[in-house]
Amino acid sequence: MPVIVLTPAQMASIADAAEAAFPAEGCGLLVGTGRRTITVTRLVAAKNLLAGDGPDRFELDPSIHIRMECDLRGTPERIVGHWHSHPDGTAQPSATDLAMAWEPDLVWLIVGVAASCSGGGQVVQALAHRLDCEAGRSHPVPLRIAQNNACKGPGFPT
């Protein structure tokens, strides 16, 4: 079972983008390294091409995906997944997510955004999944937020 690791700054960036997209879904790519422990090295912003089609749909701009595949060729990094938001506050895959999952090795980081008192959106939950469209189900992927390493002494296990 893989684990996905993001920094606090990366999670904050995803939360900011998800809240800015509210009440539509926001989305972006996750680039990283590793197989069992997947470390996100950078986030790539992407437009939701279906933002005007209702609050519960997203299509990540495929030109961003293709450009990143080309840019990453020959490097240790790869597209490890993508994130998108759910403006209903849940971070569980929807039936639409399950139907649209066609890359079984990618991590789907889903961010639940709920309406705030000010009328905007506020992130309330984030969960990572691998989706199996053939079986119509999802598998949880443990999500870890990397700790600040400034206080670790030499030789501390990583």
Provide the domain count of the chain: 1
**In this structure, is residue 78 part of a structural domain?**
yes
In the β-sheet with 78-86, what is the strand arrangement from edge to edge? 137-141, 121-132, 107-115, 78-86, 27-33, 37-46, 3-6, 143-145
The string of pLDDT tens digits covering residues 96-125 is: 888 888 787 899 999 999 998 888 999 999
Residues 6+ apart with CB under 8 A from 119: none
Assess whether pLDDT exceeds 80 at residue 91. yes
**In this structure, is residue 54 part of a structural domain?**
yes
Segments of 23-77 assigned E as strands: 27-33, 37-46
Name the pLDDT band for 149 (thresholds 50, 70, 90).
low
**In this structure, is residue 157 part of a structural domain?**
no
CATH of residue 72's domain is: 3.40.140.10
Provide the CA 45 distance to its chain's centre, in angstroms: 11
**In this structure, is residue 151 part of a structural domain?**
no
- Phi/psi at 100 (5° precision): -95, -5
The string of pLDDT tens digits covering residues 11-23 is: 999 999 999 999 9
**In this structure, is residue 158 part of a structural domain?**
no
pTM for the model stands at 0.89
Assess whether pLDDT exceeds 70 at residue 151. no
What integer best gives the mean pLDDT of the chain?
89
**In this structure, is residue 153 part of a structural domain?**
no
- Domain that residue 115 falls in: 3-145
**In this structure, is residue 30 part of a structural domain?**
yes
**In this structure, is residue 66 part of a structural domain?**
yes
Are the C-beta atoms of residues 5 and 144 closer than 8 Å to each other?
yes
Question: Tokens at residue 92, please?
Answer: 């569980």
